[in-house]
């Protein structure tokens, strides 16, 4: 079920999802290749450099289904412990209510100009309940250049 959608100007080439304010982490070549940087409680998803705004859509209690229009997609485990999470960019986030649970969080990207017409990328986040969530590269493409997960940890910037 689509619970919210909004437009953002993606800064620092990433979309963030977190429960607690994230620390500053060092993106490695492996993180860039797999399209995400993960630390328990927060994740950053890479978005290629582009002009224009992106639209973020957030779905709750709905499993991601891969289709031919998807440019790339990755999945990470995400536990929601509080009443709200933050979703957005490094410079601007929105509070979103997601029920407390363990989820497979899937980040998928689409050509926004081809689908919606007024945004560069349509970025969909799916929170799907799962008792045993896992990491996965669902589809590689311009935002994901590997077919397997390379790192499930992150190093703080010094």
Q: What pLDDT score does 108 carry?
A: 98
User: What average pLDDT does this structure show over 30-48?
Assistant: 95
pLDDT, average across residues 100-123 = 89
Task: Give dist(CA 23, CA 154) in Å, integer.
Answer: 10
**Of 109 and 24, the one with more pLDDT:** 109
Where would I find the beta strands (DSSP E) of 40-146?
42-46, 54-60, 70-80, 84-88, 93-97, 101-111, 121-129, 136-139
pLDDT at 152: 96
Domains of the chain (ranges, CATH numbers): 2-147 (2.60.34.30)
Q: Is the pTM of this model over 0.85?
A: yes
**Euclidean distance between CA atoms 57 and 2, whole angstroms:** 7
Asked if 133 and 102 count as a contact pair (C-beta separation under 8 A), the reply is yes
Q: Is the dihedral of CA 52, 60, 97, 25 positive or negative?
A: negative
For residues 127, 129, 131 and 132, what is the CA-based torsion angle, rounded to 10 degrees? -30
pLDDT at 90: 85
Question: Could you read off the pLDDT of 80-93 as tens digits, one per residue?
Answer: 999 999 999 988 89
Percent residues over pLDDT 90 in the chain: 77
Is the pLDDT at 51 greater than 90? The verdict is: no
The b-or-e profile of 12-30 (16+ CB within 10 A means b, else e) is ebbbbbbbeebeebebeee
Q: How far apart are CA 116 and CA 139, in angstroms?
A: 21
**How far is it, in rounded angstroms, from Cα 105 to Cα 128?**
6
Q: How far apart are CA 138 and CA 48, in angstroms?
A: 18
* Average pLDDT score over residue span 125-154: 96
């Amino acid at each position: 079920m689509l619970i919210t959608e909004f437009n953002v100007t993606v800064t620092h080439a990433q979309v963030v999802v977190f429960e607690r304010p994230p620390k500053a982490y060092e993106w490695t070549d492996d993180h860039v290749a797999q399209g995400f940087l993960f630390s328990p409680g927060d994740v950053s998803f890479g978005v290629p450099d582009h002009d224009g705004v992106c639209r973020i859509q957030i779905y709750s209690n709905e499993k991601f289904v891969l289709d031919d229009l998807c440019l790339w997609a990755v999945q990470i485990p995400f536990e929601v412990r509080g009443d709200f999470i933050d979703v957005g960019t490094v410079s601007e986030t929105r509070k979103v209510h997601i029920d407390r649970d363990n989820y497979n969080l899937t980040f998928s990207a689409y050509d926004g100009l081809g689908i919606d017409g007024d945004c560069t990328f349509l970025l969909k986040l799916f929170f799907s309940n799962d008792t045993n969530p896992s990491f996965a590269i669902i589809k590689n493409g311009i935002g994901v250049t590997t077919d397997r997960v390379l790192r499930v940890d992150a190093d703080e910037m010094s």
